[in-house]
Structure 1
Amino acid sequence: MGAASEATGAIQQAADDAADLAFDDLTSPQLTDVQRQVLEFTEAKRVNFDLDQMLAEATAQAGATDLDDTDGFTDRLRAHLAAIEADEGLRQLTRSSLRQRVVRLLRNRLSLTELLKRYPEIESIEIENPFIVVGMPRSGTTHLVNLIAADPRGRALPYWESQEPIPARGEGPDINGVDPRYTRTKREHEALMASAPVVAAMHDRFPEAIEEEVELLDLDMASYVLEWHARVPDWRDYYMNLDQTRHYAYLKKVLQALTFLRGPRTWILKSPQHCEQLPALTATFPDATVAFTHRDPVAVIQSAITMMAYSDRLRRNSIDPDWLLDYWTDRVHRLLSACVRDRELVPAERSIDISFHHLNGNEMPLLEELYRRGEVELTPKVRRRFERYLASNPRGKHGRIRYELQRHFGVTADELRNRFGFYFDRFDVRPE
Structure 2
Amino acid sequence: MNPDDLQAQATEQTGLDDFGDPSYREGLERYCAALVEEAQLNDLGNVALPPSLVAALVNRLKVVDHAKQHPEVTAERIEAPVVVIGMFRAGTTFFSHLLDMDPANRALLGWESQDSVPPPLPGERKTGARVDAAQGGVDMLEMLNPAISAIHHEAAADPTECIAVMGQAFQSISWEAIANVPSYGAWWRGGDNRGAYDYHRLVLQTLQSAGVRGRWTLKSPHHALALDALVDTYPDARLVLLHRDPVALTGSVCSLINVMSSTFSDADHRSYIADHWSDTLEESIDRIEDFRSRRPEHPILDVRYADLARDPVTTVRGVYDSLGLEAGDGAFDAMAGFLAAHPRGEFGGHRYDVAEFGLTEAAVRDRFSEYVERYDVESERLTSPAG
Scaled by the length of structure 2, the TM-score of the pair is 0.89
Distance in 1 (CA, whole Å) between partners of 2:10 and 2:141 is 24
1:305-326: CA deviation from partner (whole Å, max 9, x where unpaired): 2233334443213223222212
Alignment partner, residue 403 of structure 1? 352
1:120-165: CA deviation from partner (whole Å, max 9, x where unpaired): 1111111112111121232110011111011122211121222222
Q: Show the 5 A alignment for 1:299-338.
A: 299-338=248-287
Change (3 A) 1:178 1:203: closer
Tell me whether 1:414 sits opposite 2:362 in the alignment.
yes
Note the C-alpha offset of 1:399: 2.1
Change (3 A) 1:321 1:53: closer
Q: Contact between 1:312 and 1:319, CA under 8 Å: does it hold in 2?
A: no
**SS of equivalent to 1:397:** coil
Alignment partner, residue 57 of structure 2? 106
Distance in 2 (CA, whole Å) between partners of 1:366 and 1:317 is 41
1:392 alignment partner AA: A
List alignment gaps of at least 5 residues for structure 1: 1-48
Q: Contact between 2:255 and 2:352, CA under 8 Å: does it hold in 1?
A: yes
Alignment partner, residue 62 of structure 1? 14
Q: Contact between 1:127 and 1:265, CA under 8 Å: does it hold in 2?
A: no
Q: Contact between 2:39 and 2:265, CA under 8 Å: does it hold in 1?
A: no
Q: Show the 5 A alignment for 1:10-89.
A: 49-69=1-21, 71-89=22-40
Alignment partner, residue 288 of structure 2? 339
Q: Percent identity?
A: 29
1:212 alignment partner AA: E
List alignment gaps of at least 5 residues for structure 2: 381-387
Change (3 A) 1:314 1:279: closer
Deviates more, 1:412-421 or 1:305-314: 305-314
Q: Contact between 2:87 and 2:243, CA under 8 Å: does it hold in 1?
A: yes
1:126 to 72, 77, 82: 77
Q: Contact between 1:126 and 1:265, CA under 8 Å: does it hold in 2?
A: no
Tell me whether 1:363 sits opposite 2:318 in the alignment.
no
Q: Show the 5 A alignment for 1:260-275.
A: 260-275=209-224
1:429 to 377, 381, 386: 377
Tell me whether 1:278 sits opposite 2:227 in the alignment.
yes
Larger Rg: 1
Alignment partner, residue 214 of structure 1? 163
1:82 alignment partner AA: A
1:153-202: CA deviation from partner (whole Å, max 9, x where unpaired): 2211121222222349xx99xxxx96443222211222223232221110
Distance in 1 (CA, whole Å) between partners of 2:263 and 2:342 is 29
Q: Size of the alignment, in residue pairs?
A: 376
Q: Contact between 1:244 and 1:280, CA under 8 Å: does it hold in 2?
A: yes
Tell me whether 1:223 sits opposite 2:172 in the alignment.
yes
Note the C-alpha offset of 1:374: 3.3
Distance in 1 (CA, whole Å) between partners of 2:320 and 2:258 is 39
1:79-130: CA deviation from partner (whole Å, max 9, x where unpaired): 2211222225111212332211110111111111110111111111111121
Change (3 A) 1:426 1:127: same
Change (3 A) 1:366 1:311: closer
Deviates more, 1:327-336 or 1:396-405: 396-405
Alignment partner, residue 103 of structure 2? 152
